Amino acid sequence: MPAPSRTRQLAVQQQIVDAWLSALESPNTRAAYRSDLASFGRWCVQQGAIPLTADTTTLVAFHAAREQAGDSAATIRRKWSALSSFYDFAVRSEAAAHNPTLGTDRPPVATGARSPTLRLTPQAVDGYRALAAALDPRLEALVELLVIDGLKVSEALALDVDDVRGRHPTTTIIVRRRGEQHRVRIDAGTARAVRRCAADRRDGPLFTNSRSTSTGHPERLTRFGADHLIRQLTGDGEERVTANALRRYHITRHAHSAPLEEIRDRAGLADVRSVRRYLGDQD
């Protein structure tokens, strides 16, 4: 079968862009993301590429170009978030095979800047964990991995069922960090949640999307799908909890009981400065 023409690819891309933007709840986010994708699109035209079919190498080159153009770290990170959201939507809509932003680390934050991420209380986290367990086995396992074991959401979503090894009291998972595999021991409660999430499956992605039940073919949950799950934890009128806020809780809760280097390694961070940023003004 011949490859789709460039005209056809651009038409499909525009349909995905329109649907993606209309799905964004915040008008401010919609406007910013529209501008960010347009900026990437103009750059792709200069490179003879199309955003919908761009690969990780193309995104890394775009990042370097924006740095050279003088964009601030915050601006570059927002552009990266916009592209990640767009590709997650495209994958979920079956218009793209994968999200190329998952192939590389996100741009780092400015050294010394405090994290704007919501700081959660132990009481709030206990409530989120209980609600997650009541709502969906996938949500329960995801929250446990973020809160108790400090995984990045991308690391959790990349897990396969056969990455989970061992039984109580020692269960480990294979986590992929910066191109390498790491065996990480997880909490007993997390292990139980992960087993419930996997159910009786022996292979395939640990976290699957809702279509997998009807089709019988496990499809990996995307970041967009994970954000949709986590959004269920927030009630009306409450400040929205995010995956990053859940992970920040893991980092801050160990601040008085473990060296920064240990927290850095546990959370898969590249530098202790990132740990300090998450800690912010914590006493």
pLDDT of 57-67, one tens digit each? 888 899 888 88
Same domain, 98 and 10: yes
Same domain, 187 and 247: yes
Same domain, 88 and 208: no
- The residue ranking higher by pLDDT, 38 or 103, is 38
Q: Which domain holds residue 11?
A: 6-103
Same domain, 213 and 152: yes
Task: State the chain's mean pLDDT as an integer.
Answer: 82
In-domain check, residue 208: yes
Q: Is the pLDDT of residue 165 over 60?
A: yes
Candidates 44, 167, 173; CA nearest to 100 is 44
Same domain, 13 and 148: no
The whole-angstrom separation of Cα 207 and Cα 161 is 9
Phi, psi torsion values for 230, nearest 5 degrees = -65, -30
- The residue ranking higher by pLDDT, 28 or 63, is 63
The stretch 167-196 carries a mean pLDDT of 87
Burial 227-236 (b: 16+ CB within 10 A, else e): ebbbeebeee
pLDDT score recorded for residue 254: 66
Q: CA neighbours within 13 Å on the CB side: how many for 217?
A: 1
Tell me the pLDDT tens digit for each residue of 103-113. 666 665 554 44
Q: Is the pLDDT of residue 138 over 90?
A: yes
